[in-house]
Amino acid sequence: MPGFELFGEAEKKQVEDVLESSVLMRYGFDGMRNGHWKAQELENKICNRFKTKHAHVVSSGTAALTVALASAGVGAGDEVIMPTFTFVASFESILALGTVPILVDVDDTLTLNPEAVEKAITDKTKVVMPVHMCGSMADLDALQAICKKHGLLLLEDACQAIGGSYKGKPLGSIGDLGCFSFDYVKTITCGEGGALITDNKTFYENAHKYADHGHDHIGNDRGAEAHPFLGYNFRISELNAAVGCAQIERLDEFLSIQKKQYSILRKALSNISEISFRKVPEGGVENYSFLNFFLPTENDARKAHKALSDGGVDGCFYWYDNNWHYYRKWEHLIDQKSLGKLPEEVQNGLQDFSKTDFSLSDHWVGRNISCLIKLGWSKDEVNERAKRMVEVLSSLRV
């Protein structure tokens, strides 16, 4: 990742189709389009690739999560269980609906700990939202069982794991709803964009209306469309969708490259006894966008991360201290810093972070280093990178 590394003629051709028609909006202007409906085309491709009945593309992965929650009727005062390790968009999408994010621990998968999920459920819980961080997945069997037991929805945030699978099923297609991000640094990109997928027709009908100001999209006169309920504007442009139409056709190509690069690095690091690798649930297949490994202690991880950076190995992340991806640095959420007054349901429902114990998450994330796998590395570059990483990490042995 990311897909922009290999932009080529296919992406150019798709964009040129849109520019030649001059129609950048996904709805209306039927006579000017020359038959080009890129957002619809991308949705059809998504349905085919991910074996799902319905797909709706939107302006971002954050929008996809927000629309997915809204489409399922999740709203003010409801609680959504999410992990401590994710991107800030996870709780932003929840808060946008007046819904309450409930943070729980991750385990050695670096995703939701099922035991912690079970303990966090209350009579206000509506959704369990695993986030398949850095290319790998949660224990979806365990989470599905919990959701079935308590009558909850399972919403897969697969924004960082597109193309991965679990027991033969594409990630995102296993829960009641699944979401992808197509932003500029994802495995396939639209520049900006996202999608939700579902087999539930009601959720889909709600989603495409909600994401376009509540338009019912009945008939061919946009001005005469009815509005069955309130909505917002989360539309994707035809230009962005056009790039996605080309990129999704190349997903298997990208995954193959990522797996090859990942495998070279992992094999090299496997010779260092102090290193262990994240757990991938049985039956799971990563999308190989990141190589995640653990050092024996937090201090070891900090030293290793600095040594890799100083040693010229770029693209290695220590999420424990990252402002965007780990709860420790989410002061704006913890302190409820908002431009406008937050709904009372959110103010009263958020956890008291001065009393929460996320030591289990700290145990895993504090020892983790996550290395980006690039599509554009040459054979020599990835082999040299593997050699250099081994040299740097081996030099830290006590």
- What are the structural domains of the chain? 3-250 (3.40.640.10), 252-394 (3.90.1150.10)
- Tokens found for residue 85: 């390790």
8 Å CB contact between 375 and 286: no
Determine what percent of the chain is predicted with pLDDT higher than 70. Answer: 100
Q: Residue 169 catalytic?
A: no
Q: What is the pLDDT of residue 312?
A: 94
Instruction: Report, as an integer, the average pLDDT of 332-352.
Output: 96
8 Å CB contact between 67 and 94: no
Q: Residue 387 — pLDDT band, cuts 50, 70, 90?
A: very high
Instruction: Report, as an integer, the average pLDDT of 317-346.
Output: 96
Give the separation between CA 191 and CA 229, rounded to whole angstroms: 30
Q: What is the pLDDT of residue 398?
A: 43
Residue linked to tokens 């000017």: 32
Q: Which amino acid is at 53?
A: K
Residue linked to tokens 């230009």: 239
Q: Is the pTM of this model over 0.95?
A: yes
| Catalytic residue selected from 45, 126, 186, 374 | 186
Per-residue pLDDT tens over the stretch 232-284: 999 999 999 999 999 999 999 999 999 999 999 999 999 999 999 999 999 99
Give the separation between CA 101 and CA 117, rounded to whole angstroms: 12
Give the separation between CA 164 and CA 169, rounded to whole angstroms: 9
pLDDT mean across residues, the chain:
97
